[in-house]
Structure 1
Amino acid sequence: MTPPARRRAAARAQSAVALGGGHGLHASLQALRRLVADLTVDELAAVVTVADNGGSSGRLRGEFGVLPPGDLRMALAALCGDDAWGDTWARVVQHRFAGDGEMRGHVVGNLLIVALWELLGDHVDALDWMGRLLGASGRVLPMALTPMDITAEVRGADPARPDELSTVRGQVEVATTLGAITSIALDPPEPAACPEAVAAIRASDWVVLGPGSWFSSVIPHLMVPELRSALVETGARVVVVLNLVAEAGETGGFAPEDHLVALWEHAPDLIVHTVLADPRSLPDREGFAAAVASYGARLVVADVAVGDGTPRHDPDKLAEAFRTIVEGD
């Protein structure tokens, strides 16, 4: 095995930024945290979607007018270490209350984040404090500083009218819609990006997009003008991690190349360096490779699934794939 010091000297990457939300971003961050541990990557940041309107996050957003904290909390938990401190705090912040009272369904980490926002009055400062408490191996940043909603144009949301276009509003509603999503938009339409998130992207060596809910977690970053400009203008190499399966509701019926088409329809000037895909997600590997090449990107195919039949990325396998991409460039 190559010693960490030599791996670091050989690798071009010094910093990485992962964009997304929910379980997909959680998996990417768990993998990238391993690259921080072995010195392949020096600095790591997450830029997180802030449009959730359901569950504990939606309730706190509605009551206090704050950003929905849930995806931010999950990102922080993913960056916790494997030691007793990190493992304990990751479980604490992810703990969801049971019972039959008003606290049912709330998550400890969501409450801690909102409390820090109220006490400190600054979204980023509060998340940095939370990261220090957890011993997180990176920084977590919201993609914007005001709550927003996702709207989607959907064809055939009403099965009785398969060709009719309608508008669906809200992240939960978009994620579970019937019919085919043709485009998404944000409300407000041009939210101000988090300045620290923009700076992190512009200063990074690698940017990771996906995996995750394509229209409600990944593509929204491309709809924030300052973030999209940063992604287009950065000198970083952009890696797109393909989902293992099409997601019922958002991308039902999508072929692998349809995910790429959706990205470029929303940001046609985005330059992608690498597309990472699991071989089991590619029914037509040769055709997909040609599609990737037509966009000027390279395809890396690697076993990154947990292997138990569920469509989940394995953080250790994903880390090894990221390491191969970073060190092999």
Structure 2
Amino acid sequence: MSANGTKIIRVIKGRRPKVVVIGGGTGLPVIVKALHEQDADVTAVVTVADDGGSSGVIRNYINVVPPGDIRNVLVALADMPGVERDVFQYRFNSNDSFFSGHAIGNLIIAALSEMKGGIFPAIQVLSKMLNVDGHVYPASNTPLTLHAEFTDGTTQAGEAEISAAGKTIKRIHVEETDPDDHFEPRAEPEVIDAIMAADVVVLGPGSLFTSILPNLMIKNLGDAVKKTQAEVIYITNIMTQKGETENFTDAQHVQVLHDHLGEPFVDTVLVNISPVPADYLDRQRYNEISSPVKSDYPALRKMGCRVISADFLKLRDRGVFHDGDKVAAEILNLAFQVGTMKKR
């Protein structure tokens, strides 16, 4: 947006910049919404390995892909009146043993998944119903379970259980949740096509091991991210996360990504340089937060990454977040630099 609030329309060779954002959690819809408002052609690829909260309960009842992250991204890209948006996002607070804590949108997604034979076709139908500008793709059409191996040699299954284990994660992988499915997890062709056609592919922000990597561990999806000619951007988290990345530098985050995919593939890293004020964070409410991520520019450059440092910090509600507008502007600047030319 310009200073007077007028939308700035920017194009690459007669079209809107194509941005694919891969991840999950609360940070994903913030970035997706800001990119949409700055007129990018956005495709969101959302993790399906979440097993907590309302999504987890619904998944346990009817064995569908957890809908919570997908619901929030749909709303970020939807063009619908405020009252409809509020109803879709409404979370029951009754004492009913089933409905308590469930978001209406999660129930709608679960119902459509049964009607259409999977989460992927269900979300495409719902995208039309909600007037979504862009694309929302589940990383897989079937529920996946996250598995972790820790540095002490033990293993654990389940996103919430892995985070709660309090151990250092060595490696993660995903498997089909349904024990009767014996095939390798796969992303749908539309996901792969979007990644290959993108100007930029964005990873994060979000939990490294439980929001970003589960997507990349789907083999054909990870292979596409390595092969695409798009600029691959990693948004470094502002804070480290207990049970996942305590004491990690930004370079260590990237190294984990490279190690899991077997080769360097991240081109650009966005790093926040604005300090987090002491005693601002409500650590009871945001109890998964540990400490600010430290920067290791020499290590990032040694890995061949371009580093963009700026004030990406937004403080609100006694929490620490990325400023979606600033991050989106930087992503689009990179998209226009890269255009449709091949990287490297």
TM-score for the superposition, normalised by structure 1: 0.86
Residue of structure 2 equivalent to 1:324: 333
Question: How far does residue 136 in structure 1 lie from its aligned partner after superposition?
Answer: 2.0
Query: Is the aligned partner of 1:98 residue 2:106?
Result: no
3-state DSSP of counterpart to 1:246: strand
* Match for residue 304 of structure 2 among 296, 306, 310: 296
Q: Summarize the alignment of residues 177-216 of structure 1 with structure 2, pairs less than 5 Å apart.
A: 177-188=165-176, 190-216=184-210
Of 270, 278, 281, the residue aligned with 1:276 is 270
In 2, the alpha carbon distance for the partners of 1:219 and 1:87 equals 34
Deviation at 1:5, TM superposition (A): 7.2
What per-residue deviation string (whole Å, max 9, x for no partner) do you get for residues 24-60 of structure 1?
2122212211222xxxx2x211111101112221122
Instruction: Give the residue type in structure 2 aligned to 1:310.
Output: G
Structure 1 segments of 4+ aligned residues over 4 angstroms from their partners: 1-6, 9-13, 281-285
Q: CA deviation at 1:78?
A: 1.8
Given residue 267 of structure 1, which amino acid in structure 2 is its aligned partner?
A: L
Q: Which residue of 2 aligns with 1:53?
A: 51
Count of paired positions: 311
Establish whether residue 315 from structure 1 lines up as the match of residue 310 from structure 2: no
Change over 3 Å in CA distance of 1:328–1:61 after alignment to 2: same
| 2:37 corresponds to | 34
Instruction: Looking at secondary structure, tell me which structure has more helix per residue.
Output: 1
1:24 to 24, 27, 36: 27
Give the structure 2 partner of residue 224 of structure 1.
218
State the alpha-carbon separation in 1 of the partners of residues 66 and 270 from structure 2. 29
Give the aligned partner of residue 170 of structure 1.
Answer: 158
SS at match of 2:91: coil
The SS at the match of 1:22 is coil
| Contact 1:80-1:86 within 8 A present in 2 as well | no
The CA deviation string for residues 274-316 of structure 1, in whole angstroms up to 9 with x for no partner, is 111111378765xx22222112221111212213462211222
> Displacement of 1:166 after TM fit?
1.4
- The CA deviation at 1:124 is 2.6
Q: Cα distance, 1:271 vs. partner? A: 1.9
| Partner secondary structure for residue 253 of structure 1 | coil
Change (3 A) 1:198 1:240: same
User: 2:64 maps to which residue?
Assistant: 66
Whole-Å Cα distance in 2 between the matches of residues 152 and 79 of structure 1?
Answer: 32
- 2:148 counterpart letter in structure 1: A
Q: One-letter code of the match for 2:261?
A: A
Query: For the structure 1 residues 65 and 324, does the alpha-carbon distance in structure 2 shift closer, same or farther, using more than 3 Å as the test?
Result: same
Q: Is the 8 A contact 1:30 1:78 kept in 2?
A: yes
Query: Alpha carbon RMSD of aligned pairs, Å?
Result: 2.4
In the alignment, the residues of structure 2 paired with residue 122 and residue 169 of structure 1 have an alpha-carbon distance, to the nearest angstrom, of 23
C-alpha deviations, 1:188-209, integer Å up to 9, x for none?
4831222211121112111100
Do the aligned partners of residues 104 and 80 (structure 1) sit closer, same or farther apart at CA in structure 2, a change above 3 Å counting?
same
* Preserved CA contact (<8 Å) 2:67 2:109: yes
Partner residue, 1:256: 250
Aligned residue identity for 1:145: N
Kept after mapping to 1: 8 A contact 2:203/2:233: yes
Q: Is the 8 A contact 1:177 1:249 kept in 2?
A: yes
Change (3 A) 1:137 1:260: same
The answer for unaligned runs of 5 or more in structure 2 is 177-182, 276-291, 339-344
Structure 1 residues 161-182: Cα deviation after superposition (integer angstroms, max 9, x where no partner): xxx3311210111223202111
Residues 111-169 of structure 1: CA distance to partner in whole angstroms, max 9, x if unpaired?
A: 111111222334333212212222222111111122111111224xxxxxxxx331121
Identical-residue share of aligned pairs (%): 35
1:89 and 2:89 equivalent?
A: no
| Residue identity opposite 1:32 in structure 2 | L
CA distance in 2, matches of 1:296, 1:13: 28
